[in-house]
Amino acid sequence: MADQHDTEPSSSPVPDTGGGPAGAALSGPVMVVAGARPNFMKVGPLQAELDRRSIHNVLVHTGQHYDPAMSDVFFDELSIRHPDHHLEVGSGSHAVQTARIMEAFEPVVLAEEPSWVVVPGDVNSTLACSIVAAKLGVRVAHLEAGLRSRDWAMPEEVNRVVTDRVSDLLLAPSPDAVENLTAEGYPASAVALVGNIMADTLLSNLERAKARRVVPHLGLEPGGYGLVTLHRPSNVDDPAILASLLAVLGDLADEVPLVWPVHPRVRQTLEQMNVPAAITRIDPVGYLDSIALQADARIVLTDSGGMQEETTVLGVPCVTLRTTTERPITISEGTNQLVGTDPDAIRAAAKLALDGAVEGRRPALWDGGTAGRVVEAMLAHRPGPDRLGGASGS
Report the interface residues with ligand UD1, using CB under 6 A: 36-38, 64-67, 70, 91, 123-124, 155-156, 231, 263-265
Name the β-bridge partners of 118.
Answer: 32, 141
Minimal distance, residue 123 CB to ligand UD1, in Å:
3
Q: Is 231 a catalytic residue?
A: yes
Cβ nearer to ligand UD1, comparing 47 with 126: 126
Minimal distance, residue 227 CB to ligand UD1, in Å:
16
Main-chain phi, psi angles of 192, to 5 degrees: -130, 125
CA distances from 365 to 6, 81, 141, 179 (A): 37, 26, 19, 16
Main-chain phi, psi angles of 32, to 5 degrees: -110, 135
The CB density around residue 138, as the number of other CB atoms within 10 Å, is 23
Cβ nearer to ligand UD1, comparing 259 with 375: 259
Minimal distance, residue 56 CB to ligand UD1, in Å:
28
Residues near 143 by beta carbon (within 8 Å), at least 6 away in sequence: 42, 46, 118, 119, 120, 121, 171, 194, 197, 374
Minimal distance, residue 57 CB to ligand UD1, in Å:
23
CB-CB contact of 146 with 118 (8 Å): no
Nearest Cα residue to 375 out of 131, 10, 23, 97: 23
Q: Chain centroid to CA 143: how far?
A: 10
Cβ nearer to ligand UD1, comparing 66 with 278: 66
Cβ nearer to ligand UD1, comparing 155 with 187: 155
Length of the chain: 394
Single out the catalytic residue among 61, 231, 263, 381: 231
Cβ nearer to ligand UD1, comparing 11 with 93: 93
Minimal distance, residue 308 CB to ligand UD1, in Å:
11
Strands, sheet with 299-302, edge to edge from the N-terminal-most edge strand: 279-282, 258-261, 226-229, 299-302, 318-320, 336-338
The set of catalytic residues is: 231
